[in-house]
């Protein structure tokens, strides 16, 4: 392997441009023509790569989810011996990433009336996002010695993921404080 960076696919370029445009001007400003101009391709190329605006929304959500799950995996990799520390590190990484995520801010502002067209992105894809996050965390927790039956372990994972996502959507304190609180709860549940 040469170590050279992999070329970015056309679809990834379009999704990235759509995310940037959404953060700048809102979801309602997105058109296939604007995306084509931004990426430097024809409008037909955008349609061929993406399809509909709904498909674009789904691709944007999945791309952001992948970015967030990458930081979760990195946090667990860094703390293989202590599950509560891994949970705290993962929660902190996600919350800090959310603070600076312009697309997420555009989506969250939609829930507060700024661009109501984005609201369906949250509601129609929330189960997919939650499910994917729980699968990743469940796989990572499997490497630790946890003395809980499957039902209660799944409930604990569900609780942690939902609490983190709740704070992503509506933070109530500093990321480090929230992550520490989540780890404190996880220590008690997983003990």
pLDDT one-digit tens code per residue, 74-92: 999 999 999 999 999 999 9
pLDDT for 153 beyond 90: yes
State pTM to two decimals.
Answer: 0.82
Alpha-carbon separation of residue 11 from 34, 42, 48 (angstroms): 15, 13, 9
Model pLDDT, residue 112: 44
> What single string gives the DSSP state of each residue in 124-167?
HHHHHHHHHHHHHHHHHHTTS-----HHHHHHHHHHHHHHHHHH
Q: Is residue 52 part of a domain?
A: no
What pLDDT, on the 0 to 100 scale, is given for residue 119? 57
Domain assignment present for residue 155? The answer is yes
The per-residue pLDDT for 120 is 61
**Residue 12: which pLDDT band, with cuts at 50, 70 and 90?**
very high
Please report whether residue 17 resides in a domain.
no
Residue 2 lies in a domain: no
Nearest Cα residue to 86 out of 136, 127, 35: 136
Task: Work out the pLDDT band at 154, boundaries 50, 70, 90.
Answer: very high
In a domain, 46, yes or no: no
Average pLDDT, integer, range 146-151: 91
Q: Rounded mean pLDDT of the chain?
A: 87
- Asked if residues 130 and 159 have their Cβ atoms less than 8 Å apart, the reply is no
User: What pLDDT, in 10s, does the model give residues 17-31?
Assistant: 998 998 888 888 889
Task: Please state the rounded mean pLDDT for residues 134-153.
Answer: 93
For residue 135, being part of any structural domain is answered with yes
**Higher-scoring residue by pLDDT: 118, 45:** 45
Non-local (6+) Cβ contacts of 75 within 8 A are: 86, 89, 90, 92, 93
Question: What are the distances in angstroms from CA 133 to CA 74, 128, 136, 181?
Answer: 14, 9, 5, 19
Q: What is the C-alpha separation between 191 and 152, in angstroms, rounded?
A: 12
Average pLDDT over every residue of 34-61 = 92
Count of domains in the chain? 1
Q: Is residue 115 assigned to a domain? A: yes
Q: Which residues have a Cβ under 8 Å from the Cβ of 86 and sit 6 or more positions away?
A: 75, 76, 78, 79, 80, 140, 144
- Are 103 and 65 spatial neighbours (Cβ–Cβ below 8 Å)? no
Tokens read off for 34: 């604007």
Is pLDDT of 8 > 90?
no
28 part of a folded domain:
no
The residue range of the domain holding 74 is 58-190
Query: Percent of the chain, pLDDT > 70?
Result: 86
């Amino acid at each position: 392997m040469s170590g050279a960076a992999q070329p970015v696919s056309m679809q990834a370029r379009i999704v990235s441009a759509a995310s940037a445009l959404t953060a700048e001007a809102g979801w309602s400003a997105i058109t296939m023509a604007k995306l084509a101009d931004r990426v430097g391709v024809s409008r037909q190329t955008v349609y061929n790569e993406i399809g509909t605006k709904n498909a674009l929304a789904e691709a944007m959500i999945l791309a952001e989810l992948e970015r967030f799950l990458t930081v979760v995996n990195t946090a667990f990799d860094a703390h293989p011996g202590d599950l509560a520390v891994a949970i705290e590190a993962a929660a902190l990484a996600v919350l800090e990433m959310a603070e600076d995520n312009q697309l997420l801010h555009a989506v969250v502002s939609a829930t507060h009336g700024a661009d109501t067209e984005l609201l369906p992105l949250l509601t129609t894809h929330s189960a997919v996002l939650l499910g994917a996050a729980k699968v990743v965390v469940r796989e990572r927790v499997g490497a630790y010695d946890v003395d809980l039956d499957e039902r209660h372990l799944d409930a604990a994972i569900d609780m942690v993921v939902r609490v983190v996502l709740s704070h992503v959507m509506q933070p109530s304190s500093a990321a480090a404080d929230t992550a520490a609180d989540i780890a404190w709860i996880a220590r008690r549940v997983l003990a």
